[in-house]
């Protein structure tokens, strides 16, 4: 019996050993395949599907190419990768054109404009851009609208009804739970706390949303009108009347060039390439083309422009993939400032804000940099509240017309859960303090008027700090700054008019401005991005850890798992917050 158990144990250990070895072999295969260069054959077509979320710096799944259980995961496409690929394809003699299959793209409007502008630049090469979709959302169509030919599936459809911003409100849920929010804020427009206080938008919130939403919509329509040679007035009328209710109507009104199936689009591409019908089109995916030879050569100069990217909610510490960690970003700014090779810095931000303290830590490093070497702020989809705080002392700030910014304000969110514990759970609390307010602040009793005043005093001081530093950075009086602050959100176009930013443009414009400020010629510098893209191994183990955590939460909470994320988000909002409300413009 003992001999049998030894054999069983040895077999199990052997299988475990070979499983581990096999696992690392797979990782090695994935790593080596990711490094394999790709040969671009003549008459190739770059295919942009953009089916994954788009971030400033993408995340790769190193085992996706192996298929099966390895294919899934939280991948994202890097905006910089898209721009790099299109710039390279523009001068690549073996790339004849671009095929867009962009239907429902997960990105903000400024990111979409960066991609759209890169495609417009690609078209200067006189190479073709064709687009196809079964159903195109307005975001997808915004990119597709620059194409030479746009095919819409005859059985498909197209969204053309204008933009909408929808907010969630939790007051009813809190009332049912017996939880009372305790809010401290400054400004009529600081609406990030409204979901906990109201069941609908305040008049101030509606006014600001209507203003910047119309500003963004007008700009987008102007862009589409120029590409499709249709008037803005007509585009608005089509949206108001819901005329585009079929592919035939999209064709009739000039939004698409063809109603046709994928095979018909491919026939058109083959004709463009002078290919026989029996031949296959040589498509190149974005990930494959990024492994091809780089024809856009970087300068060999030692001079550098450091592009430091911050994306996500602002927190103290190092942060994570979807967070801006103040320690990490501050350290990178300091390192770039002290690096003699770095002649200028571009701070690229895509964030609706977060911790006021963390924002101030990064602001300090910007302040220390200003005057020592040029530092330019570049706004992506959103650079509001804490995201604006980070940039407000830059030498210049550049934003897209459809960037969302502003929201200069501070709030503190607490909860009084005494009723929930007492009435719903039957839990009571008692305490012993050494001093009058040793348990301050607490969620298990009602705060006194004195305590409320103390907290509001801190928020008022935080707002005074935010607005005075913003006024100093923007070189305007505090009174004028506060007249456009109060937590109000603006589009990039509106922010240019009221002085919150300096120039309208994208990341490339910010880089050129940084080079000009540093008195660098066009070919006399390299652009380096920080943080650098993680290695294959780092990405994989991060993914494994995140997936395991998500599965554990789902196993424990079942259908309640999504609510756990909401609780985590609330938990991250500890301390004073410079944050705007979360929403998506559709």
Distance, CA of 120 to CA of 129 (rounded, Å): 9
Helix axes 356-369, 326-338, angle to 10 degrees: 0
What residues form DSSP beta bridges with 128?
Answer: 97
What residue has token string 């004028």? 480
What residue has token string 């988000």? 569
Q: What b/e readout covers 135-158, taking b as 16+ CB neighbours within 10 angstroms?
A: ebbbbbbbbbbbbebbbbbeebbb
Q: Which of these is catalytic: 127, 139, 190, 373?
A: 190
Q: What backbone phi and psi angles, to 5 degrees, belong to 223?
A: -65, -45
Closest by CA to 34, choosing from 57, 64, 67, is 64
The answer to whether residue 468 is catalytic is: no
> Which SS3 state, helix, strand or coil, does residue 229 take?
coil
Max CA distance (Å), the chain: 88
Strands (E), 159-257: 180-185
CA torsion sign, 47 to 53 to 59 to 61?
A: negative
User: Can you read off the two tokens belonging to residue 404?
Assistant: 């969302």
Q: Give the angle subtended at the CA of 134 by the CAs of 130 and 140, to the nearest 5°.
A: 65
User: Can you read off the two tokens belonging to residue 226?
Assistant: 């120029």
The answer to whether residue 190 is catalytic is: yes
- Assess contact for 313 and 352: CB atoms under 8 A: yes
Q: Which of these is catalytic: 96, 380, 385, 486?
A: 385
Which residues are annotated as catalytic? 190, 385
């Amino acid at each position: 019996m003992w001999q049998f158990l030894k054999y069983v144990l040895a077999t199990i250990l052997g299988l475990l050993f070979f499983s581990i070895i096999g696992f690392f072999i797979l990782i090695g295969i994935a790593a080596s395949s990711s490094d394999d260069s790709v040969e671009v054959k003549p008459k190739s077509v770059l295919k942009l599907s953009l089916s994954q979320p788009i971030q400033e710096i993408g995340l790769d799944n190193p085992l996706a190419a192996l298929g099966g259980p390895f294919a899934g995961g939280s991948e994202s496409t890097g905006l910089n990768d898209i721009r790099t690929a299109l710039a390279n394809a523009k001068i690549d003699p073996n790339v004849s054109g671009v095929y867009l299959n962009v239907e429902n793209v997960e990105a903000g409007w400024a990111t979409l404009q960066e991609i759209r502008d890169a495609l417009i630049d690609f078209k200067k090469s006189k190479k073709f851009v064709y687009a196809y979709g079964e159903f195109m959302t307005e975001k997808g169509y915004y990119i597709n609208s620059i194409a030479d030919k746009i095919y819409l599936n005859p059985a498909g459809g197209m969204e053309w009804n204008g933009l909408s911003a929808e907010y969630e409100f939790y007051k009813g849920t809190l009332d049912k739970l017996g939880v009372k929010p305790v809010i401290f804020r400054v400004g009529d427009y600081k609406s990030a706390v409204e979901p906990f206080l109201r069941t609908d938008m305040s008049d101030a919130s509606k006014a600001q949303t209507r203003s910047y939403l119309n500003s963004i919509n007008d700009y987008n329509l102007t862009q589409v009108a120029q590409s499709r040679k249709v008037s803005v007035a007509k585009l608005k009328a089509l949206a108001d009347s819901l005329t585009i209710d079929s592919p035939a109507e999209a064709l009739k009104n000039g939004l698409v060039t063809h109603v046709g199936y994928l095979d018909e689009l491919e026939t058109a591409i083959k004709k463009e390439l002078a290919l026989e019908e029996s031949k296959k089109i040589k498509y190149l995916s974005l990930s494959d083309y990024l492994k091809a030879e780089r024809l856009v050569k970087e300068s060999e100069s030692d001079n550098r422009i450091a592009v430091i990217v911050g994306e996500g909610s602002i927190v103290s510490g190092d942060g994570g993939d979807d967070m801006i960690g103040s320690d990490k970003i501050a350290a990178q700014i300091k390192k770039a400032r002290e690096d003699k090779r770095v002649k200028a810095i571009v701070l690229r931000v895509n964030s609706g804000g977060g911790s006021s303290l963390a924002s101030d830590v990064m602001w300090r490093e910007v302040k220390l940099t200003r005057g020592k070497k040029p530092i330019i702020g570049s706004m992506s989809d959103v650079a509001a509240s804490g995201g604006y705080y980070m940039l407000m002392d830059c030498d210049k700030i550049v934003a897209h017309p459809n960037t969302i910014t502003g929201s200069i304000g501070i709030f503190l969110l607490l909860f009084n859960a005494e009723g929930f514990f007492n009435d719903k759970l039957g839990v009571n609390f008692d305490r012993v303090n050494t001093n009058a307010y040793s348990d301050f602040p607490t969620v298990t009793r009602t705060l006194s008027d004195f305590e409320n005043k103390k907290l509001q005093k801190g928020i008022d001081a935080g707002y005074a700090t935010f607005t005075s530093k913003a006024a100093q950075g923007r070189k305007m009086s505090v009174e004028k700054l506060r007249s456009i602050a109060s937590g109000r959100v603006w589009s990039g176009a509106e922010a240019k008019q009221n002085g919150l930013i300096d120039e309208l443009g994208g990341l490339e414009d910010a880089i050129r401005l940084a080079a000009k400020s540093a008195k660098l010629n066009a070919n006399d510098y390299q652009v380096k991005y920080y943080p650098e893209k993680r290695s294959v191994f780092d990405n994989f183990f991060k993914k494994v850890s995140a997936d395991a955590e998500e599965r554990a939460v789902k196993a424990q909470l079942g259908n309640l798992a999504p609510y756990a994320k909401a609780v985590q988000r609330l938990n991250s909002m500890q301390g004073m917050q410079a944050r705007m409300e979360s929403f998506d413009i559709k």
